[in-house]
Amino acid sequence: PLAGPAPAAAPANGPGSEALVVIIEDNAEVNAFLAQKLGADFQVKTAADGAAGLRLAADTIPDLIVCDVHLPELSGLEVVTRLKADWRTSHIPVVLLTAQNAPEQQIAGVQAGADLYLTKPFNPTFLLESVRTLLASRARQREHFRRSLSVETATAAPQRVDQKFLADLTAIVEANLDNSSLSVEDIAQRLGISRVQLYRKVKAILGTGVTDFIQGIRLTKARQQLLDTEQTIAEIAYQLGFSSPSYFSANFKARYQISPSEFRALHTTPSV
């Protein structure tokens, strides 16, 4: 028999991972069972209906969501659709759970954007391994984003919600390159989200912090200016928001293992 709605649980401190998994399940027994099984390996938070689950996902930006299809207020399919349409949560893998094995429902789940569709009763070990596989796949995607990301690619016309987010984020940073006091709070405010939401979104997509992202754009611009302009190193440093030429040089060398002056000399053809 179905139990009453389960209250949102405190996070379970899984010893093996910092990954956060949100469970959206209205059956209290199933909710507690999933929290126990996944809580041994991951941080876990739970919600008992679709609307509460959406709010929890937007507030915490989890690494993965396990969601029942049949939920009060909003169905699991509607939850997935809204998650994928919201740039804050569009990147999050979703596992849908259902008691129905109808092919048309599975197709609907995939069309909504679910990454995996499991039929109850399911093997807990299979669910756990599926979660690990989806998180590993997301980690590979982060590495791909990090390798392909540059000032040019980040501001290109985005084809996906995540790329749109990166384009907007990059545009804000580029518009404030000379602002040495630009903070994570400033950027979050301009995007209309909290500092924590911004941090978790950037961390999920790129595997890096917001400050490192800003620094990366500034240093990429610095490389271009060292090659394409005759500005002094001090002029470039202040123009790109570094507090001093020495601080700029130290960060440039830490990133590229070569000083700005050495980089320019290495790539400049001596005049005859």
Could you report the per-residue pLDDT of 195-227, keeping only the tens digit for each? 999 998 898 888 888 999 999 999 999 999 999
Identify the residue with better confidence: 20 or 141.
20
Q: How confident is the model at residue 174 (pLDDT cuts 50, 70, 90)?
A: very high
What CATH code is assigned to 149-266? 1.10.10.60
Choose among 176, 207, 206: nearest CA to 189: 176
Q: 2: which 2 tokens?
A: 């179905």
Give the pLDDT of residue 6: 40
Task: Summarize the confidence of residues 112-140 as an average pLDDT.
Answer: 86
Choose among 149, 128, 269: nearest CA to 208: 149
Q: How confident is the model at residue 271 (pLDDT cuts 50, 70, 90)?
A: low
Give the pLDDT of residue 221: 93
- Domains of the chain by residue range: 20-143, 149-266
Positive or negative: CA dihedral 28, 22, 40, 9: negative
Q: Cβ(36)–Cβ(71) under 8 Å?
A: no
Q: Cβ(29)–Cβ(4) under 8 Å?
A: no
Portion of the chain with pLDDT greater than 70, in percent:
82
Task: Summarize the confidence of residues 55-81 as an average pLDDT.
Answer: 91
Choose among 136, 152, 115, 142: nearest CA to 200: 142
pLDDT reading at 3 higher than 70 = no
Phi and psi angles of residue 44, each rounded to the nearest 5 degrees, phi first = -135, 135
Instruction: Output the DSSP codes for 236-265.
Output: HHHHTT-S-HHHHHHHHHHHHSS-HHHHHH
Q: Which of 17-21, 102-106, 205-209, 224-228 has the lowest mean pLDDT?
A: 102-106
Q: 33: which 2 tokens?
A: 């069972």
pLDDT reading at 249 higher than 80 = yes
Give the pLDDT of residue 158: 38
Q: How confident is the model at residue 103 (pLDDT cuts 50, 70, 90)?
A: low
- To 5 degrees, how large is the angle CA 207–CA 147–CA 152? 110
Identify the residue with better confidence: 46 or 268.
46
Q: How confident is the model at residue 163 (pLDDT cuts 50, 70, 90)?
A: confident
Instruction: Output the DSSP codes for 158-224.
Output: PSSHHHHHHHHHHHHHHTTTT-TT--HHHHHHHHTS-HHHHHHHHHHHHSS-HHHHHHHHHHHHHHH
Q: How confident is the model at residue 147 (pLDDT cuts 50, 70, 90)?
A: low
The three-class DSSP label of residue 14 is: coil
100-131 burial, b for 16+ CB within 10 Å, e for fewer?
Answer: eeeeebbebbeebbbbbbbeeeeeeeebeebb
Distance CA 149, CA 139 (A): 15
pLDDT reading at 9 higher than 70 = no
pLDDT reading at 11 higher than 50 = no
Cis preceding-peptide flag for 121 (omega within 30 of 0): yes
Task: Summarize the confidence of residues 107-127 as an average pLDDT.
Answer: 81
What CATH code is assigned to 20-143? 3.40.50.2300
Give the pLDDT of residue 98: 83
Identify the residue with better confidence: 243 or 146.
243
Q: 71: which 2 tokens?
A: 């939920």
